[in-house]
Amino acid sequence: MKDGIIYVFPEEEEFFTWWEPQPYLCEHERWVKWGKMHKVWLLNPNVPINYAVVGEPLRGLKKQEELNVELRFLFLEGEFFKDEAEYYRESKSNMAAESYIPSGTFSPTNDPDFVETPTVLMGGTVVGVEEMQWQDERVFKIDLRFDGHIFRVIAQDGFGDLGIHVGNIIRGFFHVLGREARPSENTSQTASNEVKA
């Protein structure tokens, strides 16, 4: 296990060009901050999420109206494990290796001063990784599996000499970016990021 380091990425449109489009089908819940932060329900898997909007925000959405959202998860801080066996042996968490908490959407202590953020606490299995150069920095483009679905992650921390490999477990906090479109504006009418057999 190795602890992660906090990194903050600019919210760049370029991150959405690194993978083929594969949007999530979502339902509009509400604008946390109009045009900047959106709360939606992912329909598959069925979980809520806040994301920072990249590009043009959708206007005139009605509650539970469907939209397609491309998501990118920027790794902020967390832990790295060689595999599931090491995770369950060494992790201090009671959560499953593949787990998800929409931490930016609620206060676990019902703090009246809580401010929502576009973040999640998530653990997943690395099923694909590629080292990239971005603005003269080394970054890692990761396909992270959670509950049979693939989340697309960008991480600046390669965990030193260990490196990131298929089968590793990454768990921690992620900043979430989203680029949204109405289903009629997107070629994928059955948006889903399920793992293909």
pLDDT digits (tens, 9 = 90+) for 64-81: 999 999 999 999 999 989
Whether 101 is in a domain gets the answer: yes
Q: Is residue 190 part of a domain?
A: no
Closest CA to 69 of 151, 192, 178: 178
Confidence of residue 192 (pLDDT cuts 50, 70, 90): low
Q: Which residues does residue 2 pair with via DSSP β-bridges, in sequence order?
A: 80
**Model confidence pLDDT, tens digit, residues 104-142:** 999 888 899 999 999 999 999 999 999 888 888 888 999
189 is a domain residue:
no
Q: Which tokens belong to 122? A: 């998530």
Number of structural domains found in the chain? 1
Domain that holds residue 116: 2-7+19-184
